[in-house]
């Protein structure tokens, strides 16, 4: 992985996130702290990096992609805060730190999530500074992201995940949950980046296919990590999924088969990029990273 | 109040809300039921009616305003679902029916709220069928609504409300909570309607002032109703605010002074409309309705 390139994107995303919060001076103190606590908790920034890398792969400029990149990270963070709540996964630790509701209380955690989700849409509806994006493209990005993270996407995936907690689901249920909880948001990140970068229909289709495969691979390796990962590196309790009797890939198809399946998805993701004429090297490296990450 | 006119708007809003849900076929069954349960629970539809009435007052067409009207009602519903949660106001009844989490469980209620908020933004980003609205106006509507209902608005108001629960706040805190919990969303409804109706800057300013006063009056009379209202008509437990030791207008300035204050705000709201050249009769009636409602 070309570290310095991704570090540079990550630095731009951090600055964009700081800018977003600096521009909001009417958020009550405790709520602001709670929102920032989870946003700046050391996430990998995979989704915003995918937005930027996709925009640049189709020849677009980074500045046009940064607000939506930051928005995707805020949305990802809100899903983590709400998923950790006592009524949901009831997790005390996240990235080696107390979860939001453990630190700020349940009411503030719910509201911090609501606030981040809403702020994300406000930011996506702004014309990016230094990037000239047509208003209809911004609207399409908003629709794409909203559909991907709402009741037909991430929120729906979490609902079905909750309904099957403690029950033994089959592969079809597992795929549904993963495709909706994780896949749709990753695909939306890549497609949004493409749209903001000015991609045509063919490239958007290719990016959608890439995003779909990467999202799927991400979840397969996430399940694998939960079995074999090191608790310290993960920053949360390893084996949590099997303790809660969640359906996982290793549980359903075995560890070795899961690894093979994940690697095949990464190969297919990379294959989907072949029709794109721009510089797709970084998107390829991101797909490979998903298979190599240790936390 | 010209009943048939508002009934006609309300019928259009109901149809628009039905259309929105009919067009979403990938929402998991229980989540969909939970979202619809609260959206179709017999709300007054005040916010969507304000959107439509404002659009029509500046000469705009109703079809252009309906998606955002429906979106505002979905957002209002999401705030009710989340506010009722055990970690927040812990209410069991709403509009004479079990609250969402009592009926569907806490996890689904949180997700139904998240889903409604997200769906609202998806709907606002769509070009209204039969209404020709420029994409930049739609983006401005999204920014206006997001700012009004997010951490600087409704969500922030609920946070401060929670922080002061059981404590005796002063008038400044009360006004902050009300302005943010209720006022900003009502103002956003009126301003959005104006924008979608093609209003110029002067009319938008006048509508903003009207919305601000109406929102303020709404909350004053809401506090009054909580003291004098009839439990059956309200469909929830009356006196709930004083039981929870919430700061209210009657508690701070007495019942009669609160009524006078509320009526003065309604007069000021109506006064703010004087510079608008269109048919403002229905907006005036809506302001008067706020002072007369019994539930």
Confidence (pLDDT) at B292: 87
E strands in chain A: 93-94, 97-98
Distances (CA, A) of A141 to A148, A192, B151, B192: 11, 5, 22, 21
Q: What predicted TM-score, i.e. pTM, was given to this entire model?
A: 0.95
Structure confidence at residue B88 as a pLDDT band (50, 70, 90) = very high
Q: Which class would CATH give A3-292? A: mainly alpha
**A81 vs B contacts (CB less than 8 Å):** none
**B102 vs A contacts (CB less than 8 Å):** none
Nearest Cα to Cα of residue B149 among B196, B189, B198: B189
Mean pLDDT of the region A9-18: 98
A274: Cβ contacts below 8 Å, ≥ 6 apart: A206
Q: What is the CA radius of gyration of chain B?
A: 18
Task: For chain B, say whether A13 makes contact (Cβ under 8 Å).
Answer: no
Please answer yes or no on whether A139 and B135 come within 8 Å at the CB atom. yes
CA distance A4 to chain B (A): 35
Task: For chain B, say whether A166 makes contact (Cβ under 8 Å).
Answer: no
Confidence (pLDDT) at A248: 86
Distances (CA, A) of A112 to A27, A167, A211, B180: 10, 30, 28, 15
ipTM: 0.95
Distance in angstroms (rounded) separating the CA atoms of residues A57 and A70: 18
- For A195-213, b/e burial (b = at least 16 CB within 10 A) is bbbbbeeebbebbbbbbbb
Task: For chain B, say whether A115 makes contact (Cβ under 8 Å).
Answer: yes
Distance in angstroms (rounded) separating the CA atoms of residues A258 and B255: 68
Domain residue extents for chain A: 3-292
Structure confidence at residue A233 as a pLDDT band (50, 70, 90) = low
Structure confidence at residue A228 as a pLDDT band (50, 70, 90) = confident
Query: How big is the A-B interface in CB pairs under 8 Å?
Result: 164
In tens, the pLDDT along B150-159 reads 999 999 999 9
Distance in angstroms (rounded) separating the CA atoms of residues B92 and B105: 12
**A163 vs B contacts (CB less than 8 Å):** 28, 30
- Inform me whether the pLDDT recorded for A78 exceeds 80: yes
Q: Which residue of B has its CA nearest to A121?
A: B146
List, as ranges, residues 225-284 from A with C-beta within 8 Å of B: none
CA distance A83 to chain B (A): 9
CA distance A144 to chain B (A): 8
Mean pLDDT of the region B227-249: 63
Q: Which residue of B has its CA nearest to A123?
A: B143
Comparing CB atoms, the residue among B110, B116, B155 nearest residue A87 is: B110
């Amino acid at each position: 992985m070309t570290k310095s390139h991704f570090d540079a994107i990550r630095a731009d995303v951090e600055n964009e996130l700081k800018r977003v919060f600096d521009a909001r001076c009417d958020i009550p103190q405790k709520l602001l702290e709670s929102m920032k606590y989870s946003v700046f908790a050391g996430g990998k920034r995979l989704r915003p990096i995918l937005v930027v890398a996709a925009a640049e792969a189709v020849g677009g400029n980074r500045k046009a992609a940064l607000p939506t990149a930051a928005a995707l990270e805020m949305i990802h963070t809100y899903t983590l805060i709400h998923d950790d709540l006592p009524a949901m996964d009831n997790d005390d630790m996240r990235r080696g730190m107390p979860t939001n509701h453990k630190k700020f209380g349940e009411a503030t955690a719910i509201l911090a999530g609501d606030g981040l989700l809403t702020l994300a849409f406000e930011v996506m509806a702004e014309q990016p500074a230094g990037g000239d994006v047509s208003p209809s493209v911004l609207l399409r990005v908003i629709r794409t992201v909203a559909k991907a993270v709402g009741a037909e996407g991430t929120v729906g995936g979490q609902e079905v995940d909750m309904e099957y907690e403690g029950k033994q689901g089959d592969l079809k249920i597992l795929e549904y949950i993963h495709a909706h909880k994780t896949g749709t948001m990753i695909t939306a990140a890549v497609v949004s980046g493409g749209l903001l970068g000015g991609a045509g229909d063919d490239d958007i289709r290719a990016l959608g296919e890439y995003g779909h495969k990467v999202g799927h691979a991400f979840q397969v390796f996430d399940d694998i990590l939960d079995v074999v990962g090191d608790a310290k590196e993960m920053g949360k309790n390893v084996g949590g999924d099997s303790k809660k009797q969640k359906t996982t890939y290793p549980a359903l198809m075995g560890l070795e088969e899961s690894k093979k399946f994940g690697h095949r998805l990464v190969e297919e993701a990379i294959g989907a990029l072949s029709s794109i004429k721009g510089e797709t090297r970084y998107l390829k490296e991101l797909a490979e990273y998903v298979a190599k990450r240790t936390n």
